[in-house]
Amino acid sequence: MRTMRFVIGAAVAPWLCAGGLVAAQSTATAVVTIHADQTASRVSPTLYGLMTEEINHSYDGGLYAELISNPTVRADWSGVNDWILVEDGNSEAKIGKDSASGPSAALNWSLRVDVSHASAAGAAGVLNGGYWGIPLHPNTTYDGSFYAREDSADVGPVTVSLVANQSGKVLASAVVSGIGTKWQQYRYKLKTGMMEPSKENHLVLTVAHPGSLWLQLVSLFPPTYDDTPNGNRIDLMEKLAAMHPEFLRFPGGNFLEGDHLADWYNWKKTIGPRVDRPGHPSPWRYWSTDGLGLLEFLEWCEDLHMQPVLAVYAGYSLAGEHVNPGPDLDPYVQSALDEIEYVTGSTDTKWGAERAKDGHAKPFPLTYVEIGNEDWFDRSGSYDQRYAQFYQAIKAKYPDLQLIATAPVKGVKPDVLDEHYYLRATDFFHDATHYDKTDRNGPKIFVGEWATREGTPTPNMGAALGDAAWMTGLERNSDIVVMASYAPLLVNISPGAMQWDTDLIGYDALRSYGSPSYYAQVMFGSHIGDTQPVSSLEGGGPRFFYSVTESTAKKQIYLKLVNATSDAQAVDIKLPGAALAPEGQQISLTGHDPEATNTIDDPDAIVPVETVLHGVAETMHHRVPPYTIEVLVLHTR
Ligand code: AHR
């Protein structure tokens, strides 16, 4: 676990000047006073977003909807991983990696299937069980493709089938004919009939004649979010959309850096047709196919109306290796400039034209570029100069871009500083005032990774309370904290898939669920507004937190209350002089115990419950139950 704390300068948050906060010190009735007609500060319009990288099978075996595991047929000492020989009846065949033949320079190897004996009654070939199963739904069409070639002997058409693991029942099947002797891509469709949704299935490719068949990039996609080709899993995208994220920080995290210099996220190898993407090792100990590459990250932003926060590799990798600032670093700086051009350039620029060729003529919006990741790990002290070299080159060409530093630097003043916090709930309770005294004249703050790490594989109610307490502090200080993103976002909970426990959203091949922390994010992200009225808290217990924001457009006040104790908390809410509708909404997330949680089999144990809030008035008495996070929506007139 990486924990980082900065204490930066000393100044006073505007809400403190304006309203004056008295720390909660007892379990006596708390008094929250809101001066709805007085603005303390603005709320950052980009406060809540997503941080993501290839970890815990977030993309391959996660959000990226590809169903075939190891589609690029990589092999190790044990053979071609995830691919199993099929010998039906008395057929005979063998399989192995062919390092001398492949469909492209990037994928210049393949899976070779040598069939010595096969017939219609006893076909031979290979099967793939997907990422911990192949999820299938009734009456659904799946789009498949593969690259193949045959030897001169005619091994006949390839039959592709989806088969139920336990019964062996064929659930869908297609025949791909005309396989030639040269590498070519073939497409197929598989349609299921009536069936129970299940992930206990596999894909089989067989031939009915002796001969040799080579396969590469075997692919199968279910329907995707927005029907995007090479797109994302619908259930996970819907869960992310419900968070109302304003930005997506990508591609990492450690995934940006790689273990060694050679493993850096070289975005140019993640664009274009998949057959031209070699993939690369993830520092999280598995291969990334990069099927979800740079353009797919950007399309993901587009789909969920998020702005990209583009992290560019800055010449430091996790094993402690760095590129010397100066001429050695120049190629990486140029790569970052090219990458920015790929994202934002018009089609008459070199990389803008490349993006158009890849299918997206329209440039993407870009405001923030992050230089590296967690560069305080670089003990050589080179980050100051590396940052300055990127800063000068990027600002010279793109003066409006906001450049994020990942560690404090002295050479140039960064626009934004990225800080990371992985803490226990108790730490966040104590640190909820962390940014109250941050220097307002320093860089803006991006809390690019943070999480209460309690609960596995996903956080429990206690963690959600820690998160919510911390978020009240982020909101209160969102004049300086311009962005914040929980991390990690996603985890495949299947055995062996997870590298980092305590992740926001869990899933297997078929199902997904939100943790209590996820629902806290949904509640906060959906009720944020644009300004912060002057407010104060008096009394209340030591683990009672609040924040209040307002949407001027919607004429709504959002009061967030967090009671992280086992006792109910009484609160008097005062809105002197406010003209209020008598009814509002109350959204509550409650657990009976900090250990209470959601699981894949019990996904709705702790979910937000919305009720009508009656009796809204200038003064109202309210009670927050134990272990509860609430949003009160009050309507002004
Ligand atoms: O979120 C998991 C990891 O934590 C990130 O990859 C890294 O930036 C941080 O140390």
How far does the centroid of ligand 1 lie from the alpha carbon of residue 253, in Å?
5
Q: How confident is the model at residue 4 (pLDDT cuts 50, 70, 90)?
A: very low
How far does the centroid of ligand 1 lie from the alpha carbon of residue 224, in Å?
28
How far does the centroid of ligand 1 lie from the alpha carbon of residue 365, in Å?
26
pLDDT the model gives residue 608: 98
How far does the centroid of ligand 1 lie from the alpha carbon of residue 504, in Å?
14
What is the mean pLDDT of the segment spanning 142-163? 94
Q: Tell me which residue has its CA closest to atom 10 in ligand 1.
A: 2
| CA–CA distance, 371 with 302 (Å, rounded to integer) | 22
In 3D space, the residue among 571, 559, 567, 562 whose CA is nearest the CA of residue 544 turns out to be 562
Instruction: State pLDDT tens for residues 507-522.
Output: 999 999 999 999 999 9
Q: Dihedral sign, CA of 398, 403, 408, 413?
A: positive
HSE value, Cβ hemisphere, 13 Å, CA-based, for 560: 32
pLDDT the model gives residue 27: 73
Instruction: State pLDDT tens for residues 411-446.
Output: 999 999 999 999 999 999 999 999 999 999 999 999
Q: How confident is the model at residue 154 (pLDDT cuts 50, 70, 90)?
A: confident
For the CA of 451, the closest atom of ligand 1 is 1
What is the mean pLDDT of the segment spanning 17-28? 42
pLDDT the model gives residue 8: 24
How far does the centroid of ligand 1 lie from the alpha carbon of residue 602, in Å?
28
pLDDT the model gives residue 514: 98
Task: Assess whether pLDDT exceeds 70 at residue 3.
Answer: no
Q: Dihedral sign, CA of 219, 222, 225, 227?
A: positive
Question: Within 6 Å (CB) of ligand 1, which residues are found?
Answer: 2, 53, 55, 252-254, 373-374, 449, 487-488, 500
Number of C-beta neighbours around residue 256 at 10 A = 26
Task: Assess whether pLDDT exceeds 60 at residue 11.
Answer: no
- Which of 1, 2, 263, 370 has most ligand 1 atoms within 8 Å of its beta carbon, as the pocket-test mutant? 2
Instruction: State pLDDT tens for residues 193-243.
Output: 999 999 999 999 999 999 999 999 999 999 999 999 999 999 999 999 999
For the CA of 255, the closest atom of ligand 1 is 6
The percentage of the chain sitting over the pLDDT mark of 70, rounded to a whole number, equals 96
Q: Tell me which residue has its CA closest to atom 9 in ligand 1.
A: 253
Task: Assess whether pLDDT exceeds 60 at residue 567.
Answer: yes
pLDDT the model gives residue 5: 30
How far does the centroid of ligand 1 lie from the alpha carbon of residue 4, in Å?
11
What is the mean pLDDT of the segment spanning 455-465? 98
What is the mean pLDDT of the segment spanning 360-385? 98
pLDDT the model gives residue 281: 96
Q: Does residue 253 have a cis bond before it (omega within 30 degrees)? A: yes
What is the mean pLDDT of the segment spanning 70-84? 97
How far does the centroid of ligand 1 lie from the alpha carbon of residue 288, in Å?
17
Task: Assess whether pLDDT exceeds 50 at residue 491.
Answer: yes
For the CA of 373, the closest atom of ligand 1 is 8
For the CA of 374, the closest atom of ligand 1 is 8
pLDDT the model gives residue 96: 98
Instruction: State pLDDT tens for residues 545-562.
Output: 999 999 999 999 999 999
For the CA of 500, the closest atom of ligand 1 is 2
In 3D space, the residue among 402, 396, 390, 391 whose CA is nearest the CA of residue 444 turns out to be 402
Non-local (6+) Cβ contacts of 401 within 8 A are: 340, 366, 367, 368, 369, 394, 395
How far does the centroid of ligand 1 lie from the alpha carbon of residue 55, in Å?
9
Instruction: Kindly report the average pLDDT of the chain as a whole number.
Output: 95
For the CA of 2, the closest atom of ligand 1 is 10
Task: Assess whether pLDDT exceeds 50 at residue 470.
Answer: yes
